[in-house]
Structure 1
């Protein structure tokens, strides 16, 4: 009994430590690029206007992603009433849900001990922590794909259960209208069919009839109807070109065209190998040792490995086949691979080789933090140059340096104490410390500058409380952090076209209107002597143009390269 109580106490402390690490710093920072300000701007517009069906980015419809994630953020804000909390909470809850689903799936497929290995393996990987602490769609998507896979594997490997099929289909459908690829869990039916065909079942094993899987179809359609239903009704009732164009852009260009003929983020076929080697640390260090064990179990016909590993391989092949690649695309594979690795990890970490690899990872991470922290606290030219490029004050150097130095010292002390004999525990503790460093130290210090809140505060102070503000060639964080309503002239429109509307707008009230403009987009019709360089943010220089600086009689255009300047919004 004492042993059981001790184990339960340690498990409770582990869960609490992971929760606090993933939640560290929530509410202490504003949304930061590339994606966070875009989604929060659209969610805030939903709350303010009551128009929830069609997300807006300023005055334009935002047609790059479905609105489901923005709905979740807007609904969270209406419950909490604070955007700095509300915008991160969906990712945090989705991360915790993914940890639990991975734990429960491993428990059902093996046992409770293996379940803890699966959960801790997932929590230790860099990409999981990064996504759980960022307000991007991908963490919510992975929670939905993991839920769908959890339900499907239970139906296929435990016992037939129609209710689980409805959960699997609905989660896959909802994931599809959250970010296009939510259907991925359904691909597990392919390795299941191959396993069923090639491997003889053990006597007495229960296998659901293939016919029962037809319940996935109505469940999937019901999940997609959460968004496609209201959109379809709106299209029937409002045949306006703007709405029709929005639907075509999102349903066709941003899905099929984006996959088959990507126009950006084009990467070579081997791109995901480098993603696995870096963002899946420290787990990726153990992959060479895991592969032989996985292969032996596949040859024995173990259905659990056929489904988990076969599905992960299909996901990798699916995204590799597209010319457009981003590191987050293969993130849905990670929980399944951690579940598949969990039964092998106890034996693996009894070997000196894998333990030394994990220890080396921790030592390199700690030494890097120690070295960078010491340089920031010193008088390194590199650190000053980096801050200058981003328009950040040098007062950040001691703050960032102290946090990194402290993290490096603690990690190296832990490594000296636990050494390679407890390398698994050392990797988990390092991950917990890393996410605390990220949440309490680095992001709150960098937040005012990466979120443009410091820049927009300067803008508000410079133009005064009664002035009107416009924006041209703007970024989402500019509108989000402004202290007043901002008039914009489009986001994806070429800059020359924006000037055609911005110039007359300035001329209507030249003594009360100002325009925030990206440096590269300043028109030749602006008197530079009157314009004010207000600051830098996100490696861009921003200018304030007063209405009196606009020459209404001028008809000069931007240079050819600048006139075509747009933001792809990805």
Structure 2
């Protein structure tokens, strides 16, 4: 757990929230603190109905506790990651023994996708914790029970997963393989009689957790009964859940998408899983539910997320702990094999060569791809410092390989992975944060408008409002950019000497006089400019010049 703490916490406090999701949740959390409105998240002046407010509540708590959002916005993810590892260890210890629990937690921690997700302040780390806790409750009840308290806790955690992201219900899929194994009389599966009311208590615990947010939210929304609040209810309960699942409108991917995600991001977990497959076949023959209940749940989750057209890599993360749990009983035997140690050592050397070689090559030659990345991040010297950081990760793998040698090749590989996850954020966050968080751009804009200037935002992103150095005016987030610009012009016209418009360059229309927009730079592949009051063509309305020639003043 100490290793996990160092790996997962590395870099906290060295950067602000980065897109796409972190600035949104941090902004919503900060607005909750400022406004005292906890049931209905707001993004600027608009209600934010894409996700339930659970994560934003926790981020607001850490902001309140620490007095700001720098670093605090990552605390929920860090504790969720550590909590997930603790639950996996406990579950492995209860089902098998303490060594198996240790192996299971180590497999999760060594997996690239797990660390990548936990190092970002998205909803998924918290969702991962609730789902893992829910699975633990159900497994301990079904395989080491009857333990009705753990069963009810698992169902309650599933409900908390629902009000975190909506998909906590997948925990309950664990009851399907249990029901089949119970009917087929698999050894080790609990058999209860006359406990229907206790089983029904799980449904009550599940609904109770959801009701903690849903009941006061609905009571308040229908009490206000305004179009905005009623639209919020429809959106979050139907459009963002059932409609999003059945008729996805973004992130469209092929049905086999998650298999490719596993091959690409569950490294080195799936490499080890290849050698565990024969043990899984033997466990099936022996009807071992401790292995096959988690495995069958993984298959059901894979199918569940593969059905809709819309897919994102992070959807499959909750399945990782169950695969690790099914692998863990056989890891000790595999680690005794000399070929596995040599394979681990070879992979560590290969990673050292790839990262070190690529970093030094890009630093020395500044190829076109390096120059493009440096320009996008506004880095000096063609991003030389960034490429040295890549080479430093390679040096970490090499150092680990030299310390542990081929005899402990697996430890050499895991040590290199751990050093990489520590060195990369510590060295790159200070380099990239100015651009990624939009802090650099907003500092330039603040200096450009002067101490008495007022700033209005058009076609903005969440990091722009979050990083604003003073109170700003905004004209909606989801509204059409043309409507935002129309209202911004009216706002600016009321005090032209002091009011400026910061606009996404893609939203600039034909009413802007050429050369009047003042470029402020780039942030996350978005270019923004400042528009003074004299930037508008006379008589031009909503991008149409009313018969004036295009070059008219």
TM-score by length of 1: 0.92
Aligned 1:162-201 pairs, distance under 5 A: 162-201=148-187
- Secondary structure in 2 aligned to 1:87? helix
Moved more, 33-42 or 412-421: 412-421
- Counterpart Cα distance in 2 of 1:98 and 1:165: 18
Write out per-residue CA displacement over residues 316-347 of structure 1, whole angstroms, 9 at most, x where no aligned residue. 01001111110000100001111111111122
The structure-2 alpha-carbon separation of the partners of 1:226 and 1:522, relative to structure 1 and needing over 3 Å to count, comes to: same
Give the match's secondary structure for 2:514: coil
For the Cα contact (< 8 Å) 1:180–1:255, is it kept in 2? yes
Could you list the per-position Cα deviations for residues 333-375 of structure 1 after superposition, in whole angstroms to 9, with x for gaps in the alignment?
Answer: 0011111111111222333554454334333322222123213
Gaps in structure 2 of 5+ consecutive residues: 546-553
Query: Greater shift after overlay, 434-443 or 386-395?
Result: 386-395
Q: Whole-Å Cα distance in 1 between the matches of residues 124 and 248 of structure 2? A: 19
> Which residue matches 1:328?
314
- Find the partner of 1:148 among 134, 137, 142: 134
The residue aligned with 1:338 is: 324
Corresponding position of 1:232: 218
In the alignment, structure 1 residue 510 sits paired with structure 2 residue 476: no
Q: Is the 8 A contact 1:25 1:444 kept in 2?
A: no
Partner of 1:119: 105
Contact 2:398 2:416 in 1 (8 A): no
Match of 2:21 among 35, 38, 47: 35
Mapped pair 1:207 → 2:191: yes
Among residues 471, 478, 491, which one is paired with 2:464 in the alignment? Answer: 478
Deviation at 1:61, TM superposition (A): 1.1
1:66 alignment partner in structure 2: 52
Match of 1:567 in 2: none
SS in 2 for 1:84: coil
Matches within 5 A, 1:130-149: 130-149=116-135
- Tell me the distance in 1 between the aligned counterparts of 2:137 and 2:251: 33
Instruction: Measure the CA separation in 1 of the matches of 2:527 and 2:364.
Output: 27
Question: Does the alignment pair 1:277 with 2:263?
Answer: yes
- Distance in structure 1 (CA, Å) of the matches to 2:109 and 2:471: 41
1:216 aligns with 2:202: yes
Match of 1:258 among 233, 244, 248: 244
> Mapping of 1:294-309 within 5 angstroms?
294-309=280-295
Indicate the SS of the match to 1:52. Answer: coil
C-alpha distance 34-301 of structure 1, shift in aligned 2 (>3 A): same
Q: TM-score, normalised by structure 2?
A: 0.94
State the secondary structure of the residue aligned to 1:544: strand
| Preserved CA contact (<8 Å) 1:155 1:208 | no
Aligned counterpart, 2:410? 424
- Is the 1:24–1:439 Cα contact (8 Å) retained in structure 2? yes
Residue by residue over 1:79-113, the C-alpha shift from the partner in whole angstroms, topping out at 9 and shown as x without a partner, is: 12121121000000000000000001000111111
What do the CA deviations read for 1:489-518 (whole angstroms, capped 9, x no partner)? 111112112122112112111121111111
Aligned partner of 2:277 in structure 1 is 291
Contact 2:38 2:57 in 1 (8 A): yes
More displaced stretch, 503-512 vs 363-372: 363-372
- Asked if the contact 2:63/2:69 (under 8 Å) is kept, the reply is yes
2:396 to 401, 410, 427: 410
Q: 1:490 to 1:98 in 2, by over 3 A?
A: same
Q: Report if aligned partners of 1:376, 1:400 keep a CA contact under 8 Å in 2.
A: no
Q: Secondary structure at the match of 2:20?
A: coil
Question: What is the Cα-based RMSD across aligned positions, in Å?
Answer: 1.9
Paired residues in the alignment total 543
8 Å Cα contact 2:16-2:70 kept in structure 1: yes
Corresponding residue of 1:532: 518
- How far residue 410 of structure 1 moved from its aligned partner, in angstroms, is 2.8
Distance 2:31 2:156 in 1: 28
Q: Give distance in 2, aligned partners of 1:375 and 1:461.
A: 38
8 Å contact 1:285–1:357 — kept in the other structure?
no
Taking the aligned partners of 1:411 and 1:388, their CA distance within structure 2 comes to 25
Structure 1 unaligned residues grouped into runs of 5+: 1-14, 560-570
